[in-house]
Amino acid sequence: MNIDHMNILINTIEKAKPEQCIMGRWKKPLGCGTAYCIGGWIDHLICTDAIPSVIYKDLDRYMHHSYQDQTAAVLEIPDDQAYYLTKPGIMDTFDLLDASTRKAAMLKVLRWYRDEGTIQWRRAVDEAYSAK
């Protein structure tokens, strides 16, 4: 894992408004196109040069990249882990939570993943919700 890129992502989300922490808001017709989800935040950081766009070294793979592929490349993590990081199994209900709980849960998931290598969306939501 690229710890520097993960820390940039975490620091950026820490500064975000809670209303910007929505995993399922799609603005582009074919997928997530905002900085609302974790994959969207990664894309935002590449576009603003906060994280260099080194992922384009392998142009064939990333010519038609998904936010999952982009997340895997930028954070230097396996594709399956990028999938679970960017698409929580609780997606259907995640966006129904209040904004501050969503933001707290996103940050918990990212920090745990960085520090422990685990992706635990349900635990993060439970802890964020009970901390209120």
47-97 per-position pLDDT tens digit? 666 676 555 444 444 444 567 777 888 889 998 898 888 776 666 677 788
Structure tokens at 130: 């009970």
C-beta of residue 23 within 8 angstroms of C-beta of residue 88: yes
C-beta of residue 85 within 8 angstroms of C-beta of residue 38: yes
Split at pLDDT 50, 70, 90, the class of 34 is very low
Whether the pLDDT of residue 28 is over 50: the answer is: no
DSSP 119: -
Question: What is the per-residue pLDDT for 63?
Answer: 44
In which domain, by residue range, is 120 found? Answer: 3-130
Q: Give the type of residue at 15.
A: K
C-beta of residue 40 within 8 angstroms of C-beta of residue 34: yes
Q: What is the number of domains present in the chain?
A: 1
- Based on the number of CB atoms within 10 Å of its own CB, is 37 exposed (0-12), middle (13-18) or buried (19 or more)? buried
DSSP 98: -
